[in-house]
Amino acid sequence: MAKLEREIEIKLKVTNAAAARRLLRGAGFGVRRRRMFEDNTVFDTPEFAVVRNGGLLRVREAGRRATLTYKGPAMPGKYKSREELEMRVPDAQIAGAILNRLGFRPVFRYQKYRTEFDQVRVHGVVMLDETPVGAFLELEGAPRWIDRTARRLGFRESDYITASYGALYRQFCDAKGVAPGNMVFAAGDGLTR
């Protein structure tokens, strides 16, 4: 099953996953998709042609589901808005092997636990992402819905984050004075499940 659409989203930094769940429940959101571990591998050419053009080519493995995604360059603005082409693939390793044969190579790997929340008869979704660099809410939907939902959750426009997880990881590494590698969980990281 393939999905072709324009993605419009923002991220919001939250203190931790437990506080975010309470906040969402208090605002009338219910779990749409239960918490699931995601392992993402970003691919690019040796010259980084995809990233230099503002795109993203990714293979995601989440449970038994594997997805191949291309994201185009983001449009300037207060939201991250860009083309998203996505399709399920039967096997993440085979998808990665095909990309390798076509001249792409893995350049970055990132992991997260994601829980999706929504409201009945409302077109928009909130994702709670627990990552090695902190917890974030990702609001995806129409701009008016994003603004209304962010306000309802107690956030302002100045809290909006449009950076990718790769960019947030690099900022985190710079702040800690460590060399970036892959944004993956360490064994025994103590992350609240």
190 pLDDT tier (thresholds 50, 70, 90): very low
The tokens describing 55, both together, are: 């795109």
- pLDDT at 145 > cutoff 90: yes
What is the mean predicted confidence (pLDDT) over 178-189? 86
151 pLDDT tier (thresholds 50, 70, 90): very high
What is the mean predicted confidence (pLDDT) over 91-112? 97
The tokens describing 119, both together, are: 């409201």
HEC string of the chain? CEEEEEEEEEEEEECCHHHHHHHHHHCCCEEEEEEEEEEEEEEECCCCHHHHCCCEEEEEEECCEEEEEEECCCECCCCEEEEEEEEEECCHHHHHHHHHHCCCEEEEEEEEEEEEEECCCCCEEEEEEEECCEEEEEEEECHHHHHHHHHHCCCCHHHCECCCHHHHHHHHHHHHCCCCCCECCCCCCCCCC
* CATH ID of 2-176, from 3.40.50.300, 3.30.56.10, 2.40.320.10, 3.10.180.10: 2.40.320.10
114 phi and psi angles, rounded to 5 deg: -125, 135
- pLDDT at 105 > cutoff 90: yes
Nearest-Å Rg of the Cα atoms of the chain is 17
Q: Are the beta carbons of 107 and 169 closer than 8 angstroms?
A: no
Minimum mean pLDDT among 75-89, 130-144, 158-172, 178-192: which range? 178-192
For 9-55, the pLDDT digits (tens) are 999 999 999 999 999 999 999 999 999 999 999 999 999 999 999 99
2 pLDDT tier (thresholds 50, 70, 90): low
Q: How far is CA 170 from CA 56, 165, 174, 175, in A?
A: 16, 9, 6, 9
193 pLDDT tier (thresholds 50, 70, 90): very low
Q: What pLDDT was estimated at residue 18?
A: 97
CB atoms within 10 A of CB 176: 10
What is the mean predicted confidence (pLDDT) over 52-68? 96
How far apart (Å, rounded) are the C-alpha atoms in residues 107 and 182?
9
What is the mean predicted confidence (pLDDT) over 115-141? 95
- pLDDT at 180 > cutoff 50: yes
Map out the domains of the chain as residue ranges.
2-176
pTM value is 0.91
What is the mean predicted confidence (pLDDT) over 141-167? 97
The tokens describing 40, both together, are: 């993402």
